[in-house]
Structure 1
Amino acid sequence: MERKLRICTPLIISSLLILPLLSDLSKAQSEKPRGEIRVVESWRPDVTVLGHNVLQYLFEYALDRNELAPSLAVSREWIDDTTLEVKLRQGVRFTNGEPFDAHAVKFNFDYQRQHNPGRGIQIYMKNVKEIEVVDPYTVRMILDHPDALLMNRMLSAGPKIGWVIGAPRYMEKVGWDEFLKRPVGTGPYMVEGEVKDYREMPEGEAYATLVANPDYWKKGYPKIRKITFVRYTPKEALRALIEGRVDLVTSLIPKDTLKVAESPHSKVVKGRQDVRWTVGCLNLMSPHTLPLRNMRVREALNYAVNKKELLRYAFKGNAVEMRGALTEKSGVDLSNTQPYEWNVPEARKLLKRAGYGEGFKMKLFYEERDYLIAHLLRRFYSLLKIEVEITPIQWEWIVRHVVYPNTREGYSWEDEDWWIVISSHPSYAPELMGGILEWHFHAGAPFQTSPDWLGVPLDRIYSQLLRTKDREKRFQIYKRANEYIADQALWVFTMAPLGLYGVNEEVEFVPQLSQYLYLDYSSVTDNHWSVRGERK
């Protein structure tokens, strides 16, 4: 008898999970948190564990819409080009009893600017000159220059990357380093004990435990009483999920979905809206990679990519097509942006016209989860007589050599001999193209992989974007930017994989639109191991 795969589709998720949460609030308010789940967070566990779950933001990503939603703040308004007024939520307290108010917001900005080395406060909010207290529940952010993308930029996850709001008196008393170990926030959960460095923990050991905040300001939430974060390698995490030893594995690798679905203990949850983008970042800055500065070479690299094979073998059908740097889910008009279709003869013609008809050698680096993509690309490029050396790397390498190379002592592009880095990034921002422009292509961007002469048009677009407060007009600008990025073939465009989660059969997991792990909406059934244990 044929076995049916237990895969939760977005329709099932939205109809069975999200709507009851939103429509049956009175029932939710009468229920107490129950049960416990064990989580393997695959994407930056040091970042996503605390973000939202413990330490919250003024605004957050909406549960079911591609836009910002109120959190600790309830509204915002531009007073002028460089003054943003924010109204704060009243009646909220930190879990140690301290009040959340305008003075807490100002303290967190001033204190973290001095003590938090994370790029969330030092880079993302560098444009904020100061925060003024207008009244107990109103603040004004005074900027150095117009910045319509400020709110999106503030939502980077967790205290090590983003700007979060913690208990002021406690933070000042214990200091920033101690605060990171035992943070006190306003979120749906509190830290039990301390948060440990997951990289130093043995496999299978817990590095953070969260317990429900009984006084959480969003009544009826969270649903789960206790959450334990456990360190596992991807291979061991899969085995633990299938055997029922963990309840949730994020960023599930597509090739593992069948194994998860066939287990009696687990299911696959697909976040249809949780689309990520997987691209080949091109090194256009180094003297070692001069062929990449030729647009015909970059076009050839894209025409050589057989997306049907990528979809079949690397993504197992769990991906959507990219049109330029975006997908249809972005909300941007992509009518004038066509994907690069597989066309090896055209790729060969372009290389010949560029003077590289006999090919060349190049180095391709990839993260472990993307090894199938790397191997397929090597095969695709061999048809163009391009010899590709592939090397596996960790995310930390990408940060040091691609994202923030200029933070390394003695940094020089002359030392960077990588040609392509394959990396998957969550497309979590409601206005993703703003982040792409900000961190990848405009002159001076930290993720700078384009020479200044190539980035000039994008600089003009980016400058206009910062001055455009109207959202619809910004999306028109995003359209132009995406067309330019596609026309110039500034990346190797592959596919945008869906967000995949391995979940215990008895856990009702509600995925977000973003990659951030918001766990307050998820719950466990009566038959979950932890609930059965509580009843005994």
Structure 2
Amino acid sequence: MKFQGRSTFALHNRYISTIALLLVMVVLEFCASKSAAAADIGLSSDPTAELVNGELRPGSHVKLFLPNLPYLAISHAVNAALLRPENNERGWQYDLAISHTNHDDKVWDFELRKDAVFHDGRAFNADSVIENMRFFKQAPFTFSKLHLLFERAEKLGEYRVRFHLKEPYGAFLHDAIWLQFYTPEYLAKHGWNGKPTCPNLAEPGLFGMGPYVLHKGYIEGDRSSPEVVLKANPIYWGEDKAKVETITIYTNLTLAQAREQVLQDEAVLDLTPVSFADQLDTVMSPYAKLAVSTSLNNYAMHINMINGDPALLDQRIRFAINHAIDQEYLLNLSMLGEGVMSPTMVSPNFYKVDGAIASLAPFFAEYHQQNQTDIESLKRLVSDYQKEQGLDPNQPLQLTVVAQESFQFLIGDIQYFLSQINIALQVEVVFAEKIVFGRLFDTWQGKNKPWDLLLWGNYDWFKHPWSAFFVYRPFNDWSTLPPNPYLDALSDQLLKFNVESDEYQSLLAEVIRHVYEQNYMVFLPTPNNVYAVNKEVKFDPGRSAFVYLRDLEVTDWHWSIRGDKPYPKLRMVPLQINRQNF
């Protein structure tokens, strides 16, 4: 606990208001649990699940704002792959494949569905896989090692394919989630992606195989239209068909705009992430309800060791930054307890990560015995550096952070913590994730505008800790680290071994230990996923970045279905919080 000495008027008032908010929410939940009949003092049960039937509702329309990695959710609604992400322990389920085998994690065989068709009606088969992998090899995604290890795809039969890799690769199934397949015409025009971000949704059309068709707009990691419209695919071949006829995703709203629209205006927005401080307002909204899940997500705060302030190359300064920031405070006050603490930039909720962290308990105990982390000691580290560099220790060390607008609630507190050790943090706020990515991607090539720290939401997209650790590989768009052969070797080994292998957990632990010891990123708590959802929309939040659009359903009382009928006041009562995966 590092609350001593933090009694400024602003922090004191924030502490009091936060505790008040928490107490009100606890009382509401308690009242609901004691008496479901006492709707005027508690929370009513959510009847949505009983009012939907798993079938497509003609005329239904759901509108979403997804500020973080929206192309992930959209791509798995529009496209299809051998596997698709799933909210289960292994992180995936079969999609175009119905079974698979592997030989020493180097040769992977897949049996394909025989009933899958593209949006334009043409059949999908092994030839489709071979053609797409030819284009993949010409311009692959580069966020994993697949582009280096993929050798060739072989047709074993009309509905059987084999992938040959150059060496064992235990993470291949997680990459297979992103091997999405396109029509020949689309490939001829756009090819595969060849970008740091994965899904290739360059224009509307009948090029995919998912339960939805991209009807309007475009969306990729580095560019998007302000509005993306999906329409239900009438010839979808899978079991999990679309249940909403039209889905609109907005990409250029601010979080404040989205909050007002979903809480105050029934037919403008149906679903959006909300800040932790907006939970009570969401519960009490006449049109919205609150949905929360534990997550595999991370706040990724990069330290620019490529061309940022030279101070960041000094391990003492990185150490001081990380240990000045009180994770427990951020978690319990800034985040209202919605998350878990983490010693490095990876969610403890990933498979076997909590075990890896637990195995490091002796290391952490010894580390904190040997290193002083009180404010005065950290302040001395900064002062010593300044004196060595001929800087005035009476003046703060100046650093700049770039952050998306939705993370301002964290930045203010981080500013305060760093000010206590004589580091002044200047904040540059941007309103779109793609702008943050642009600044990050330009850095390793030396084309960036100056920055020292950069914060984005690394929401799990890979169903594997690699979705956090991939930023530790130097010389790629996502990394801001100098060369590190040891960390490179660790990363190679981590991807090589299957998650069920005997070596996997110990490798995880070693990556976590090394990164923690070197302070290569700013380590922040793992957040829960928190959403405001229209009361007439069935939505269960998952643990990753994926909003499973195919699972959305609406009741007869949804604004898109009921027509001119007014929304009954009886349905405006506060509903119990939908908490998943706890």
1:171 aligns with 2:186: yes
Q: Note closer, same or farther for the CA distance 1:6–1:200 as it changes in structure 2 (3 Å cut).
A: farther
Gaps in structure 2 of 5+ consecutive residues: 1-23, 33-44, 192-199, 388-392, 567-582
Deviations 1:61-117 (A, max 9, x none): 223334232111223333356432222222212232111111111122223555xx6
Distance 2:156 2:531 in 1: 44
Structure 1 match to 2:457: 424
Distance 1:271 1:248 in 2: 18
Where 2:256 maps in the other structure, the secondary structure is helix
Cα distance, 1:476 vs. partner? Answer: 2.6
Matched-pair identity in %:
20
Distance 1:364 1:499 in 2: 24
Distance 1:498 1:268 in 2: 13
Deviations 1:113-156 (A, max 9, x none): 55xx6736998535323221111111122234443323323435
Structure 2 match to 1:265: 287
Distance 1:49 1:504 in 2: 19
Q: Which amino acid aligns with 1:259?
A: D
Distance 2:456 2:143 in 1: 25
1:360 paired residue among 385, 390, 397: 397
Q: Note closer, same or farther for the CA distance 1:127–1:173 as it changes in structure 2 (3 Å cut).
A: closer
Q: Note closer, same or farther for the CA distance 1:326–1:55 as it changes in structure 2 (3 Å cut).
A: same
Q: Which amino acid aligns with 1:240?
A: Q
Distance 1:498 1:147 in 2: 30
Q: 2:402–2:436: 8 Å Cα contact kept in structure 1?
A: no
Structure 1 match to 2:12: none
Structure 1 match to 2:533: 503
1:223 paired residue among 228, 237, 243: 243
Distance 1:462 1:201 in 2: 35
Q: Which amino acid aligns with 1:164?
A: Q
Cα distance, 1:247 vs. partner? Answer: 4.3
- Pairing 1:354-393 to 2, within 5 Å after superposition: 360-393=397-430
Structure 1 match to 2:438: 400
Q: Note closer, same or farther for the CA distance 1:182–1:123 as it changes in structure 2 (3 Å cut).
A: farther
Structure 1 match to 2:112: 88
Cα distance, 1:258 vs. partner? Answer: 2.8
Distance 1:52 1:295 in 2: 41
Q: Note closer, same or farther for the CA distance 1:294–1:182 as it changes in structure 2 (3 Å cut).
A: same
Q: 2:140–2:147: 8 Å Cα contact kept in structure 1?
A: no
1:294 aligns with 2:331: no
2:487 paired residue among 458, 465, 474: 458
Q: Note closer, same or farther for the CA distance 1:470–1:138 as it changes in structure 2 (3 Å cut).
A: same
TM-score between both structures, scaled by the size of structure 2:
0.75
Structure 1 match to 2:64: 39
Q: Which amino acid aligns with 2:86?
A: A
Deviations 1:398-419 (A, max 9, x none): 323324534xxxx438x76422
Cα distance, 1:504 vs. partner? Answer: 0.1
1:246 paired residue among 268, 286, 296: 268
- Pairing 1:88-237 to 2, within 5 Å after superposition: 88-114=112-138, 119=141, 125-156=147-178, 163-168=179-184, 170-171=185-186, 180-192=203-215, 194-196=216-218, 207-219=227-239, 221-231=241-251, 232-237=253-258
Q: Note closer, same or farther for the CA distance 1:352–1:18 as it changes in structure 2 (3 Å cut).
A: farther
**Aligned residue-pair number:** 497
Q: Note closer, same or farther for the CA distance 1:20–1:300 as it changes in structure 2 (3 Å cut).
A: farther
Q: Note closer, same or farther for the CA distance 1:105–1:498 as it changes in structure 2 (3 Å cut).
A: same
Q: 1:36–1:224: 8 Å Cα contact kept in structure 2?
A: yes
Distance 2:187 2:454 in 1: 41
Q: Which amino acid aligns with 2:248?
A: T
Distance 2:99 2:442 in 1: 33
Q: 1:65–1:513: 8 Å Cα contact kept in structure 2?
A: no
Structure 2 match to 1:530: 560
Distance 1:445 1:458 in 2: 14
- Pairing 1:460-499 to 2, within 5 Å after superposition: 460-469=489-498, 471-472=500-501, 473-499=503-529
Q: Which amino acid aligns with 2:459?
A: P
Structure 1 match to 2:577: none
Q: 1:33–1:222: 8 Å Cα contact kept in structure 2?
A: no
1:62 aligns with 2:86: yes
Distance 2:116 2:334 in 1: 46
Distance 2:112 2:406 in 1: 41
Cα distance, 1:470 vs. partner? Answer: 5.4
Distance 1:185 1:147 in 2: 27
Where 2:316 maps in the other structure, the secondary structure is helix
Distance 1:361 1:519 in 2: 44
Q: Which amino acid aligns with 1:165?
A: F
Distance 2:201 2:453 in 1: 39
Structure 1 match to 2:74: 50
Cα distance, 1:314 vs. partner? Answer: 3.1
Cα distance, 1:166 vs. partner? Answer: 2.3
1:442 paired residue among 473, 478, 488: 473
Q: Which piece of structure 1 moves more, 393-402 or 455-464? A: 393-402
Distance 1:252 1:68 in 2: 27
Deviations 1:218-271 (A, max 9, x none): 336332232223453322222211111234333322233333222100012112
Q: 1:279–1:495: 8 Å Cα contact kept in structure 2?
A: no
Q: Which amino acid aligns with 1:464?
A: Q
Q: Note closer, same or farther for the CA distance 1:369–1:151 as it changes in structure 2 (3 Å cut).
A: same
Structure 2 match to 1:160: none
Q: Note closer, same or farther for the CA distance 1:252–1:142 as it changes in structure 2 (3 Å cut).
A: same
Q: Note closer, same or farther for the CA distance 1:184–1:122 as it changes in structure 2 (3 Å cut).
A: farther
Distance 2:133 2:538 in 1: 36
Deviations 1:34-75 (A, max 9, x none): 532122222244x23531111112112223334232111223
1:348 aligns with 2:382: no
Distance 1:326 1:197 in 2: 27
1:412 aligns with 2:446: yes
2:304 paired residue among 283, 292, 305: 283
Q: 2:118–2:206: 8 Å Cα contact kept in structure 1?
A: no
Q: 2:201–2:219: 8 Å Cα contact kept in structure 1?
A: no
